[in-house]
A = this chain, B = another copy of it.
Amino acid sequence: MRILITGAAGMVGRKLIARLIKDGTLNGKPITSIDAVDVVAAEWPASTISFHAQVGDLAVPAFVDGLAGLKPDVVFHLAGIVSGEAEANFDLGYRVNLDGTRMLFEAIRRAKLSPRIVFTSSIAVFGAPFPAVIPDDFHLTPLTSYGTQKMMSEALLADYTRKGIFDGIGIRLPTICVRPGKPNKAASGFFSNIIREPLAGLEAVLPVPRDVVHTFASPRAAVGFLLHAAGIDGAQVGPRRNLTMPGVGVSVQDQLDALRRVAGDRPLSLIKEVPDETIWSIVKGWPTRFETRRSNALGFEAEKNFDAIIRAHIEDELGGKLQH
Interface residues of chain A, those whose CB is within 8 Å of chain B, are 90, 127, 136-143, 145, 148, 151-152, 155-156, 158-159, 162-163, 239-240
Complexed CA–CA distance, A156 and B127 (Å): 15
Complexed CA–CA distance, A44 and B159 (Å): 37
Known: A148-B156, A155-B148. A138 touches B137 (CB 8 A): yes
Task: Add 13 more A-B contacts to A142-B159, A143-B162, A152-B156 (CB < 8 A).
Answer: A136-B139, A137-B139, A140-B140, A140-B155, A141-B158, A142-B155, A145-B163, A148-B155, A148-B159, A151-B155, A152-B152, A152-B155, A155-B155
Q: A145 — nearest CB in chain B belongs to which residue? A: B159
Complexed CA–CA distance, A93 and B159 (Å): 12
Residue pairs across A and B with Cβ atoms less than 8 A apart, 14 shown, are A127-B239, A127-B240, A136-B139, A137-B138, A137-B139, A138-B139, A139-B139, A140-B140, A141-B158, A141-B240, A145-B159, A148-B155, A151-B155, A152-B152
In the bound complex, residues from chain B placing their C-beta under 8 Å from that of A156 are 148, 152
Question: In the complex the two chains form, is A163's CB within 8 Å of B90's CB?
Answer: yes
Complexed CA–CA distance, A40 and B155 (Å): 30
Question: In the complex the two chains form, is B90's CB within 8 Å of A141's CB?
Answer: no
Complexed CA–CA distance, A40 and B143 (Å): 37
Complexed CA–CA distance, A158 and B159 (Å): 21
Complexed CA–CA distance, A212 and B5 (Å): 47
In the bound complex, residues from chain B placing their C-beta under 8 Å from that of A158 are 141-142, 148
- Chain B nearest CB from A102 CB (Å) reads 9
In the bound complex, residues from chain B placing their C-beta under 8 Å from that of A239 are 127, 141, 143
In the bound complex, residues from chain B placing their C-beta under 8 Å from that of A143 are 162, 239
- Chain B nearest CB from A95 CB (Å) reads 12
In the bound complex, residues from chain B placing their C-beta under 8 Å from that of A240 are 127, 141
Complexed CA–CA distance, A90 and B159 (Å): 10
- Chain B nearest CB from A275 CB (Å) reads 26
In the bound complex, residues from chain B placing their C-beta under 8 Å from that of A152 are 152, 155-156
Complexed CA–CA distance, A143 and B156 (Å): 11
From B90, B139, B145, B148, give the contact of A140 (CB < 8 A).
B139
In the bound complex, residues from chain B placing their C-beta under 8 Å from that of A148 are 155-156, 158-159
- Chain B nearest CB from A110 CB (Å) reads 11
Complexed CA–CA distance, A139 and B141 (Å): 9
Complexed CA–CA distance, A143 and B90 (Å): 29
Complexed CA–CA distance, A155 and B156 (Å): 13
Complexed CA–CA distance, A176 and B142 (Å): 29
- Chain B nearest CB from A236 CB (Å) reads 16
